[in-house]
Amino acid sequence: ADVASDRWLTQHGWLERLNMQAHVNATQHRDEFVMEALVLQERVPLLIRDLLATELWREEVLPRLRDRAAVADGVRLYQSAYHEAVVANLLEAVLYHKQACEAAGDALVDLVDYCHRQLVWLLTVEPPAEARAATAEAARKAALGADPLVRQLDGTR
């Protein structure tokens, strides 16, 4: 389906629900039926392909649509960008298990390449000036002991 179409948004909603349920199952040490269903129905490689397609859409299409679509339908644009995070998070929960990794097959190589690209981006992107200033200010306050949390901690001793 076309990204951000009604059909695509319905599918995205289902993936969000699967992601939440997979994490609930994992954190509560319950039956991990989401992972088992994805493995049995051979959907793990499909999820990886969806992640890579979403990355390509974010890099190639989103910059061209950003200004026009933000005015017309910002929610759909946001959901389209958010989709990549949802799929990556679902894969994180599912690929914790050996059988899911085995079910992913050769698509794991593509996933490792995706992870490498994201790490390189994180290491090379320049943070905005206000983020650098806020980080520097927080470091200065912590060094001087002016941080309210540090004062609270000192007050409890």
Report the predicted TM-score, pTM, of the whole model to 2 decimal places.
Answer: 0.79
pLDDT tens for each residue of 49-59: 999 999 999 99
Banded pLDDT at 63 (limits 50, 70, 90):
confident
Give burial (CB, 10 Å; 0-12/13-18/19+) of 22.
buried
Rounded CA gap, 60 and 78, in Å? 16
Least confident of 28-37, 39-48, 122-131: 122-131
Rounded CA gap, 60 and 142, in Å? 41
pLDDT tens for each residue of 71-123: 567 788 888 889 999 999 999 999 999 999 999 999 999 999 999 999 999 99
What is the predicted pLDDT for the residue at 153?
A: 57
CB within 8 A of 31, min separation 6: which ones? Answer: 25
What is the predicted pLDDT for the residue at 155?
A: 63
